């Protein structure tokens, strides 16, 4: 059974940092690209960042470029999102999702809440 479990969310002050993790199981993690997608309270889905299976290709939404860093450790079946210089508008539930070959997110984690507030 495919499972994605996010962790690392919490309350952080503006300007602070946080590192999210996504533990994957039930599939060959090293064969899939992965996504981070977020959802601010009461808002829609926003794609944040993607990383290819071997980390050769990495992309970010303009809203987080230069502040967030996506990475993965295929030996540990884990995906990460390092978030620096956090702003109030980064407050959201952050989901990790597996990217199928055609580019759709076929499995999603349950999400982890990040709250940026003083």
Exactly one of 44, 66, 75, 118 binds other proteins (CB under 8 A); that residue is 44
CB 73, min distance to other proteins, A: 19
- CB neighbour list of residue 95: distance below 8 Å, 6 or more residues apart: 6, 36, 37, 38, 39, 108, 109, 110, 111
Exactly one of 66, 75, 103, 118 binds other proteins (CB under 8 A); that residue is 103
Exactly one of 59, 78, 82, 84 binds other proteins (CB under 8 A); that residue is 59
- Residue 17 or 110: which CB sits closer to other proteins? 110
- Interactions with other proteins, residue window 9-38 (CB under 8 A): 33, 35, 37
d(CA 101, CA 81): 22
d(CA 86, CA 64): 9
């Amino acid at each position: 059974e495919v499972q994605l479990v996010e962790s690392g969310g919490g309350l952080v002050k503006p300007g602070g940092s946080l590192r999210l993790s996504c533990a994957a199981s039930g599939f060959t993690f090293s064969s899939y690209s992965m996504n981070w997608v977020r959802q601010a309270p009461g808002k829609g889905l926003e794609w944040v960042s993607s990383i290819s299976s071997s980390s050769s290709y990495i992309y970010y939404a303009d809203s987080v470029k230069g502040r967030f860093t996506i990475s993965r450790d295929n030996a540990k079946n884990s995906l990460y999102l390092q978030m620096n210089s956090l702003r109030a508008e980064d407050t959201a539930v952050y989901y990790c999702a597996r990217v199928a070959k055609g580019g759709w997110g076929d499995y999603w984690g349950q999400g982890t809440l990040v709250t940026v507030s003083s």
